Amino acid sequence: MSFENLFDYSAAQYEVVLGVFTLTAAVFAAVLVYSLATAGSIAPRYRLTSYLTGVVMVSAFIELGLLALRWSGSFSWDGSRYVQMGDLFSNGFRYMNWSIDVPVLLTQLLIVAGITGLAFRRRWAAFVIAGLAMIWTGYVGQFDEVSGGAQFWVWGAISTVFYLWLLYVAWQTIRDAKASAPTEGIRRLFSYVWGLFLVSWTIYPVAYLMPQISATVEGVVARNLIYSFADIASKAVYGILLAVIAQKLSAHRGYQPSVEAEAAFIDETV
Ligand code: RET
């Protein structure tokens, strides 16, 4: 059971959590439009990253929408507080969403890093195996988050081993991307990707530990705020940053769709 169910909430606490869920869903809807609208400015070899951001945005939008519905179905106003009633709130939905988003986010990294052939297949397999093993072992552990017994700590530790493997392969990939980047500016952007990746992904295990760090109402509100912060950073900001890098790489390789389209249009009209 998620520790959210242990507490009663003031109107403000309840609304802040619900508001952040809906805000996060709205950000995902906006970035979905952005990534589809800008896909045409990216050369075909990198363009899949835009559509994969679209996949992540749709799945995360659905997840946050469901979490918002679940939150409102789990607590009822009793005249002075929101008290647990009806459904049980569950963070397990998040883990199901990560099962889609984690492999997709890592695939985007390989595409924009320009990794191809056998290296692509090897790293993709490592990412998918490490990512899913990390999520599903953590999923088993989180069922025990309220009592914080052996199930919580042992599965959390196993999950962390897979996370460290995943981080190592991500670091290798970004190192290779920097080595082959054609300009200093693009190299710098890849450094930002690494910083964003490391910080935003590492927030998730902190959120996992939250019931042990602070089993309080404030701890619940804080956990859901930091989950949303991490979600926006690791999915939306990351997707935009990769699209910007892909645009710059495309331009560097002489891909100028808008200029060509404009020239064709002028040719036709004169
Ligand atoms: C768990 C369990 C405890 C140990 C560790 C974890 C790591 C989770 C991570 C999740 C990343 C999710 C992302 C989702 C984006 O859609 C499973 C909480 C290390 C790193 C990036």
pLDDT of residue 257: 80
Residue 200 scores a pLDDT above 80: yes
From the CA of 208, how far away is ligand 1's center (Å)? Answer: 8
Mutate to test the pocket of ligand 1, among 28, 59, 97, 159 (most ligand atoms within 8 A of CB): 159
Q: pTM of the prediction? A: 0.94
Q: Which residue CA neighbors atom 19 of ligand 1 most closely?
A: 160
pLDDT band at 258 (very low <50, low <70, confident <90, very high): low
Mutate to test the pocket of ligand 1, among 108, 134, 167 (most ligand atoms within 8 A of CB): 134
- Which residues pair with residue 84 across a beta bridge? 75
Mean pLDDT of 15-40: 97
pLDDT of residue 73: 97
Residue 269 scores a pLDDT above 80: no
Percent of the chain exceeding pLDDT 70 equals 96
What are 105-149's pLDDT values in tens digits? Answer: 999 999 999 999 999 999 999 999 999 999 999 999 999 999 999
pLDDT band at 260 (very low <50, low <70, confident <90, very high): low
pLDDT of residue 256: 80
What are 49-98's pLDDT values in tens digits? Answer: 999 999 999 999 999 999 999 999 999 999 999 999 999 999 999 999 99
Q: Does the C-beta of 134 come closer than 6 Å to ligand 1?
A: yes
DSSP string, 230-269: HHIIIIIIHHHHHHHHHHHHHHHTT--HHHHHHHHHHHHH
CA separation for the pair 235, 233 (Å, rounded): 6
* Helices 92-112, 238-252: crossing angle, 10 deg rounding: 10
What are 204-227's pLDDT values in tens digits? Answer: 999 999 999 999 999 999 999 999
Token code pair at residue 199? 């910080």
**Chain-centroid distance, C-alpha 148:** 26
Residue 122, sorted as left (phi over 0), alpha (psi -120 to 50) or beta, turns out to be alpha
Q: Does the C-beta of 101 come closer than 6 Å to ligand 1?
A: yes
Q: Does the C-beta of 103 come closer than 6 Å to ligand 1?
A: no
**Nearest of 111, 37, 19, 58 to residue 236 by alpha carbon:** 58
